[in-house]
Each structure stands twice: as structure tokens, then as C-alpha cells.
Amino acid sequence: MDTQTLARILDLNHVLARNRPLKEFFQAALAVACESTAAAAAIIWAADEGGRQIVAIEADPPLPASDGPFKMPLTNSAAGWAVQYEQPVQLDDIAKEQPSILENQPEFPLQAARLLAVPIRFRGQALGVIEAFNKEDNFTYEDIAVLEHLAVLLGSGIHDARQQVHIKRLQKEIKKLDDLKSNFIAIASHELRTPLGLILGHATFLREMIPEEFREQMDVVVRNAERLKKLIEGMAQVNNYQSGTSRVRAQTFSLRDLITTLISDYRQQAEKAQVTIEASLPDDPLTIHGDESKLATALSNLIQNGITFNKPGGSLHISATRIPGYTQIRVQDTGIGIPPEALPRIFDRFYQVESHLTRQHGGIGLGLSITKAMVELHGGRIWADSTPGQGSTFTVLLPLHTIPTPSENPFELT
């Protein structure tokens, strides 16, 4: 093989390595194939994954436009034989040697008189063929060598192309499954809400009416119905956020006061769990413009987790401060911590570090995804740092100026 051909094949390597669109790489390979073998035309075929046919994926000169890519079965074509038997197929006079093959039929997109087909393999599997046509003279050993070199590179290219198709297909399937899950959650939370509202309403009413001795049982009914209501509301909240139907009902309020109220709401629960709650809050009221109830939900989940995943004798430290452009809130616990491999997933819907089989705590893995949704609705960010066995820190950044004012509002205002 002459050095010029070798240099061109090496150049192709760079095209492949540069991660350019695969079409560009296939076209460059065909140009090398035609020029180096003096063929008048060349086609790259890819075998379909069922191994039943080959599909023309690129041609030089391009094939006439038709409805879809040109296809041939493996059985009656020289290109098909090259794939099936994993060997080059050379026909110097098609009309005489193999008049019945598909490359010699009127529907074949070019008038093939002479051809050379070399299989394209990748990791021992035949993925396609490169086929050159109509050289003035017979194809030579050198031509076979050129196409075989090209076939090695094309193997990676076709493998990449297949991977891309696979990835796209998987992405589509994941999206479909995710849509199904979202629809299920939307329907389930909607359908559960009405009967639950009735149960809760009537149970609350009955609790006041029944004799004292049954009060305790009725309290259990009401408490658990309320718990169920919270879970259902949580599911609906993340779903609304994901489908883009969440609304911020913005108002101006003091974040410092909100945090103080939340801490006092959770103090009793923390005492029960033998966890001390401490706060570092500034004199500044940390006035912000946002949805107080959504931010209360977001912070409650962090405080709740900071108590739940703590250890007896542990502490929970909550701080809030202004930093340039943002209000920063930190919820820091001395609890069990989160393993590094779980850290990137804890904000996913329904994710829990412990399997639900061994889990000692309640919850369905929605708290943090709700928190993240609520923070992001405000244009903010949240992340976690953690050392297993020592504790976790959740940091929330809320931008000072990105909540839209009423006049420019994509948000619903109250």
C-alpha cells in the first residue's frame, strides 16, 4: 500500500477520534475507498441487528433519493455474502460470473459491472460491508487491503452508530416509563384525595362527639389519616413540579421568623429523639419574596430528616445568612450520614438509602425531591455534603432577585 493511502487512512482515524458526526466520517472513508482503489462508486452497508438484511448507510456518489435507505437481504447479494461468510467477495465480471445477484438487478441503484465487498467487523461480529464498484481494471490484493483497513475503522464507527440508536431507544423507553409513573401518581393522588378528605372530615367531627374513652382510638384514626394526606399531597406536589404546573404564590415574608417557627414546631419531636436543635440566625429578618408555604415544606423536610437520621445525644444546627446575591440556609446534623455513592441520588423521587425491607423509619423517599422542587421553583439550588457516621449538611441558596415581580409574572400571585 503506498504511503499516501496509508496517510489518508490514518487521517480518518483522527476524524473518528475528533468525535465529528458519524456521517462525515463515513463520507470521508468512502472518498478514501474510491480514490485509493480507483473505484467509480462505493457503498457502506450496515447489517440490521436481526441479521436478516443490510441497509445502505452512506454512498459515494450518493444514492438517488428514495423513501428510505436502500436495503438488501443477506442471501442474494455479494455484499450479503461478505457479511454472512465474513470474507471479501470479488466479482470482476458480474454479468458473466453471477448474473442473478441483486447488485446486477435493475432496481439496484447503480449499474454494477464489477465489485469488491469487504466485511466490516467489530469485536468478532460482522456489522456490515464496504463495497466498491466499477474500477476500470480488475480489483487487486492491494485494493482488498485498503478496504480491509477501512473496514477496521468503520467497525468502530458502525458500533458507535448502533450504540447511539440504542441509547436513543432507551431514553425513549425511560421517558415513557417515567410518564406512566407520573400519570399513575397524578391519578392516584387525585383519586385518593377525595375519599381521604371525607374520612378525615368525619373522623375529626366524630372525635368531638364520641365519649372520652374512645377518644384515643379516634385520635389514631385522625392522626394516620392526616399522615396519609401529607403523603398524597407530597406526591402531587412533586408531580406538579415535574409537569410544570406548580405555581409560586409569592409574598414578602421574614425567612428568619419562618425558621424560628419551624424550630419550635419540631422541638418536641427532637427532644423525644434526644436531639438538640440549635439555630444561628441574624438580627436581619432576612426578608424574601417567595412562597412561604412551599419554603416551609422544603425546610420542614430537611429538619425532619435531620432529626430522623440523627443519633440519640446528637444535634441539629440550623443557620441562615445573607451572602452576595443569595440567602443561604444550612441544616447540619450529627447523624448517621449518607454514603458517597448515595449522595447524588438522594434528591430523586422515591429514593431511599436503606432498602424499604430493612428500613426503620417511615417515609417513601419523597421529602428531599419535594424540597429540591420547591427550592428550584424559587430559582434556588440545594445540595448535600456528608460524612458517613458523622453527619450531613444540606445547603440551600435562594436568589435575592430572581422571583418575578407581579407585573412580569409566570407565577400565580396571591
Binding positions for ligand ADP, rule: CB under 6 A? 301, 305-306, 309, 333, 335-338, 346, 351-354, 363-369, 392
Instruction: Give the span between the Cα atoms of 398 and 208, in whole angstroms.
Output: 43
CB of 308 to ligand ADP, least distance (A): 7
Residues found in the chain: 414
Q: Which residues contact 399 (CB under 8 A, 6 or more apart)?
A: 325, 326, 378, 379, 380
What secondary structure does DSSP assign to 372-400, as a single string? Answer: HHHHHHTT-EEEEEEETTTEEEEEEEEES
Task: Note whether 130 and 42 are within 8 A (CB).
Answer: yes
CB of 353 to ligand ADP, least distance (A): 3
Cβ proximity to ligand ADP: between 155 and 391 the closer is 391
Cβ proximity to ligand ADP: between 146 and 277 the closer is 277
| Residue bearing cell 450518493 | 62
Cis amide bond preceding 399, omega within 30: no
Cβ proximity to ligand ADP: between 32 and 302 the closer is 302
CB of 384 to ligand ADP, least distance (A): 7
Instruction: Give the span between the Cα atoms of 104 and 188, in whole angstroms.
Output: 61
Cβ proximity to ligand ADP: between 63 and 279 the closer is 279
Cβ proximity to ligand ADP: between 225 and 346 the closer is 346
Closest-CA residue to 29 (of 4, 46, 47, 8): 8
Task: Note whether 139 and 133 are within 8 A (CB).
Answer: no
CB of 391 to ligand ADP, least distance (A): 7
Q: Other CB atoms closer than 10 Å to residue 373's CB: what's the count?
A: 23
Cβ proximity to ligand ADP: between 130 and 377 the closer is 377
CB of 385 to ligand ADP, least distance (A): 11
Set of cell numbers at residue 20: 465529528
Q: Which residues contact 361 (CB under 8 A, 6 or more apart)?
A: 308, 309, 354
Q: Other CB atoms closer than 10 Å to residue 313's CB: what's the count?
A: 10
For residue 316, the 8-state DSSP code is: E
315-323 and 276-280 strand pairing: parallel
Cβ proximity to ligand ADP: between 102 and 296 the closer is 296
CB of 328 to ligand ADP, least distance (A): 18
Instruction: Give the span between the Cα atoms of 228 and 349, in whole angstroms.
Output: 17
- How many Å separate Cα 13 from the centre of its chain? 30
Cβ proximity to ligand ADP: between 327 and 386 the closer is 386
CB of 190 to ligand ADP, least distance (A): 21
Cβ proximity to ligand ADP: between 24 and 278 the closer is 278
Q: How many degrees, rounded to 5, is the angle at CA 91 between CA 88 and CA 97?
A: 135
Phi, psi of 394 (to 5 degrees): -105, 130
Task: Note whether 53 and 74 are within 8 A (CB).
Answer: yes
| 240 class by beta-carbon count within 10 Å (0-12 exposed, 13-18 middle, 19+ buried) | middle
Cβ proximity to ligand ADP: between 55 and 231 the closer is 231
